[in-house]
Copies of this chain bind each other. A is one copy, B any other.
Amino acid sequence: MFKINENYQKLPGSYLFSTIAKKVTAYTQANPDKDLIRLGIGDVTQPLAPAVIEAMHKAVDEMGKAETFHGYAPDLGYEFLRNAIAEHDYKCRGCDISPDEIFVSDGAKSDSANIQEIFGPDNRIAVCDPVYPVYVDSNVMSGRTGVYDAKSETWSDVIYMPCTMENGFVPEFPKEAPDMIYLCLPNNPTGTTIPNAQLQGWVDYANKVGAVIIYDGAYEAYISEADVAHSIYECEGAKSCAIELKSYSKNAGFTGVRLGYTVVPKELKCNDVSLHGMWARRHGTKFNGAPYIVQRAGEATYSPEGKAQLKEQVAYYMKNAATIKNGLQDAGYTAFGGVNAPYIWLKTPDHMSSWDFFDYLLEKANVVGTPGSGFGPSGEGYFRLTAFGSFENTLAALERIKKL
């Protein structure tokens, strides 16, 4: 008789956003007349930029003619896209990343879940707490996290780096040296960033203890402050210790388009073995490229028109972020984030639990947010609102919250 992967049985509950979706569906079915405003899941609402739409139409036309039809894409992604990434996301920032160190994918979620596959089963992972749940869950599925303790909501073999109000939501070097360090900066869900010098400290630490940093830069486009790195490769020595994940979901609204990339520098090695070669093998064996049309859409985000249009989109969402943060503060809440990230992280009032506040907000204000505890035990007592709604909805949501 075949056997299952028993690690799946260890996972508590369901994926955070699936749970939220189920709760919201149940509420709307019971209250069909209520007008919900969704500031929960980090999904964008603005339409794709005109430059992107134009590029996609052109690519669709190409796919309809034999002379310009495109079948399987190159393993790593099309050169036109990898060259644009190398130029605009790295060379312009003084980072020496070559196009063949860039692996185009169907998004940062897949990459952040799959990247652990090239590492051994005995590596100790360190994660910020709270953080995007995929890092831990994908490691649970691979058996790398030990035993789950339901009371503390922690895994025995995971090193948690608490990020709370007390330390300004900034992770500290763990007491025991980890092998794999997941850093998401600007952070989801807290919206925190760290200054360049502090990021350099993490790179130096990783190189010293022999850890690899998995650097999730999905929210990079939202950085507004000067002293914050847009890529970990702005730090000296990062190429020998860091993998960087990037997404087009948040800077270009590609949540339903699906495009991302991962940088694995060639000098990143475990003894003599190049992680670049391993990830190339993984990509070649288990993935067949992002769609041609989507890669052309990605390329369009780097054109002068595309860049200008995306800058406007980001500004639109950041106006929402300011609206939420100011509105919450006016209403007496303690709120963080929203300056270098599209997330506002608030302290729940009156020591309510995160899920109690979720229910309260859903029922009393018909606003959907995300319970902080869903991102890790140190997220308990916090709550995330996103700036990805329309401006009108965002304003309306805050009016409702102020009235509570």
Contact = CB atoms under 8 A, between A and B. Distances in A.
Nearest to A206: B2
Contacts of A75: 18
Interface stretch (A85-93, A151-159, A270-278): A270-278
A138 B285 contact: yes
A109 B282 CA distance: 12
Nearest to A56: B60
A173 interface: no
Given A106-B106, A120-B4, A113 B285 contact: yes
B3 A123 contact: yes
Contacts of A60: 53, 56-57, 60
A6 to B, nearest CB: 6
Contacts of A294: 291
Contacts of A335: none
B110 A275 contact: no
Given A5-B120, A270-B3, A288 B109 contact: yes
Interface string A28-43: 0000000000000101
Counting chain A residues whose Cβ lies within 8 A of the other chain, the interface size class is 35 or more
A402 B60 CA distance: 38
Given A63-B53, A285-B134, A286-B109, A256 B73 contact: yes
B18 A46 contact: no
Nearest to A134: B285
Contact of A287 (B3, B6, B48, B109): B109
Interface string A285-303: 1111111111000000000
A346 to B, nearest CB: 23
7 contacts: A5-B118, A5-B121, A6-B120, A45-B69, A70-B256, A134-B286, A141-B282
